[in-house]
């Protein structure tokens, strides 16, 4: 598969920088390297109407959340998204995906809530998931104070954040989380077995490698048995029927491409409305590389457009 020229340029930049793979060092070193690199890749941080942070209660202690209100969002009854950042459950923070949250807030005339959920290996599965669930409950329970419509709350995330978003959608379907209007899954992790063919095709030389992804997963799970838990591998859930309508956006040159496509296919087979969009020449993480990859903004625009489409379909029956 031919790489998009923008993606190839980013890969060339990474090779020229000479950074070491995360798995060759400590978690602290991986976080430091990632925190130093993502500001050079991110796209524009759009101004929004308001941004503030607060702490909320969670089962494992306080959780810091960042809340953006889009420039044209209604002061009350606005749609809202819970955005869960990527980073393999090990890296990432409130700043690493801030440009995506701001863009979604403005495009959707919406409120975007992003939690600084607990990371592995200090906090293994299901601690991060529990923080995300607590944040969703906070949004539903405080909808009036937040100026959002509790029946128009959706969930979104990329990579490991897409994994967490997909799991929340299943929990919501089962009545274990507040109802969701939509789910936006950007190159999500859906199968922690890591055996799909895209791991072979794109396992090295395309950014996120197979060995790095295994390193992330092994820090996240408590034991190998967790790999088969659908809350880690939502592709293994026995039934996907009844979950929120989904936008699934995939990068073609990505080790997660096949499991993302498989999850979209399973959602469709279960009767869930799905909009699947694939960017054939893109690499994992491209949506967070808007400074260099022009398709990054397009992917966010299409995700928000799908969200609005699902809302319109629901309101008209």
Please report the pLDDT score of residue 317 as a whole number: 35
The model carries a pTM of: 0.97
> Is the per-residue pLDDT at 125 higher than 50?
yes
5-312, CATH topology level = Rossmann fold (3.40.50)
Please report the pLDDT score of residue 68 as a whole number: 98
Going from N- to C-terminal start, the domains of the chain cover 5-312
Taking the alpha carbons of 214, 237, 225, 88 in that order, is the dihedral positive or negative?
positive
Please report the pLDDT score of residue 269 as a whole number: 98
Please report the pLDDT score of residue 313 as a whole number: 72
Residue 83 and residue 104: Cα distance in Å, rounded?
9
Alpha carbon of residue 301 to chain centroid: 15
Q: How many residues does the chain have?
A: 317
Catalytic residues: 159
Mean residue pLDDT of the chain comes to 96
DSSP string, 220-261: H-SSGGGGGSTTT-GGG-S--TTPPPEEEEEEEESTTHHHHH
What proportion of the chain, given as a percentage, has pLDDT over 70?
98
């Amino acid at each position: 598969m031919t790489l998009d020229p923008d993606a190839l340029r980013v890969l060339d930049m990474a090779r020229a920088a000479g950074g070491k793979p995360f798995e060759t060092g400590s978690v602290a070193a991986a976080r430091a390297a990632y925190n130093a690199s993502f500001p050079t890749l991110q796209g524009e941080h759009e101004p929004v109407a308001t941004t503030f942070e607060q702490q909320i209660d969670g089962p494992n202690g306080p959780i810091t959340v960042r809340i953006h209100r889009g420039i044209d969002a209604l002061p009350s009854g606005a749609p809202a998204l819970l955005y869960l950042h990527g980073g393999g459950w090990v890296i990432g923070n409130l700043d690493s995906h801030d440009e995506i949250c701001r863009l979604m807030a403005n495009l959707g005339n919406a409120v975007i809530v992003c939690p600084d959920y607990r990371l592995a290996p200090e906090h293994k599965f299901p601690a991060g998931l529990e923080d995300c669930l607590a944040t969703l409950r906070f949004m539903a329970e405080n909808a009036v104070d937040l100026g959002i419509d509790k029946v128009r709350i959706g969930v979104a995330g990329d990579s490991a954040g897409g994994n967490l978003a997909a799991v929340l959608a299943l929990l919501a379907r089962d009545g274990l989380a507040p109802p969701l209007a939509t789910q936006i899954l950007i190159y999500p992790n859906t199968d922690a077995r890591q055996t799909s063919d895209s791991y072979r095709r794109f396992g090295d030389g395309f950014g996120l490698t197979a060995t790095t992804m295994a390193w992330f997963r092994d820090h996240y799970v408590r034991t190998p048995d967790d790999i088969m838990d659908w809350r880690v591998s939502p592709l293994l859930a026995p039934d996907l029927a009844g979950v929120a309508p989904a936008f699934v956006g995939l990068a073609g040159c990505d080790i997660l491409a096949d499991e993302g496509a498989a999850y979209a296919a399973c959602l469709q087979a279960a009767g869930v409305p799905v909009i699947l969009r694939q960017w054939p020449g893109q690499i994992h993480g491209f949506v967070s590389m808007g400074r260099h990859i022009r398709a990054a903004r397009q992917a966010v625009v299409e995700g928000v457009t799908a969200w609005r489409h699902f809302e319109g379909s629901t309101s008209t029956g």
